[in-house]
Amino acid sequence: MINLKIFLIGLKSLKGAKSPAIPLAACFIALGALLKDAGLNIQQSAASSLFTYALPGQLVMAESLLIGTSIINIFLAVWIVNYRLYPMTVSLFPLLKHRSQPKWKYYLSCHFLAVTSWLIAKDNHKKINQKNRIDFWIGIGVGTCTVAVITTCLGFLLADYLNKEMLIGLAIINPVYFYCMMLNAMKVKIILVSVILGTLLGPFFFLISSEWAILIAGVVAGTIGYLVGRIKYE
């Protein structure tokens, strides 16, 4: 059903100098502390990381609970924050597709789509035979999601010992780590243009619309990057 050898290769991507385990852990430790502040118990905090496994959406949920927002508004706010997972899935799953693999693997394993796992899979998928890439992806997903759940619990337990400065330090790890990982992909010209424009347009559109800034900036910058590649090709 799942090729164990390939699954373990995916799982082992958490080791080494490019390990996502430390930055991922730092982000979810900070989240665990925030979830405790929001009134969740340790089981609920772990369940949130296990079933949502998308840090920005979980942050929105925690902050919404703190200010007493309605459930419908939480749904809409989380959906708006996490819609970025849609283009990320479409830009990864065609690379993992194979006719011999059952569809349920794709429908269930898409739950593991998050920035960390996406960047690891984009960087390493070529090392794996196309037929087995979905098992490699499941290995990455199980590994990263497990780290997220364990460190959420750790953050919950450490909440009383973390001061403001330490929480600020933990929060910067996320963007630094993701940007370093993206530098590899920026060796391709169209990705370089897309990333630089996205970085500039994200904060710019935020001044116009805080809710839709990321979507608009992503589509505009990505389309310009794509067109730059087309012009070069033609």
| Residues numbered 171-200 forming contacts with other proteins, rule: CB under 8 A | 171-185, 190-191, 194-200
113 binds other proteins (CB under 8 A): yes
CA distances from 35 to 48, 86, 112, 170, 209 (A): 9, 26, 21, 15, 27
223 binds other proteins (CB under 8 A): yes
- Asked if residue 155 binds other proteins (CB under 8 A), the reply is no
Kindly tell me which of 84 and 154 has the beta carbon lying closer to other proteins. 84
At its nearest, how many Å lie between other proteins and the CB of residue 74?
A: 6
The count of chain residues that interact with other proteins, using the rule CB under 8 A, is 106
Asked if 221 interacts with other proteins (CB under 8 A), we say yes
Residues 16-35 that bind other proteins (CB under 8 A): 17-20, 22-23, 26, 30, 34
Segment holding 216, helix H or strand E: helix 213-233
Q: Which residues of 200-231 are buried (b: 16+ CB within 10 A; e: fewer)?
A: ebeeebeeeeeeebbbbbbebbbebbeebbee
Question: Residue 151 CB, nearest distance to other proteins (Å)?
Answer: 14
CB of 128 to other proteins, least distance (A): 14
Eight-state DSSP code of residue 24: H
The two three-digit tokens of residue 133, written as one number: 């890439």
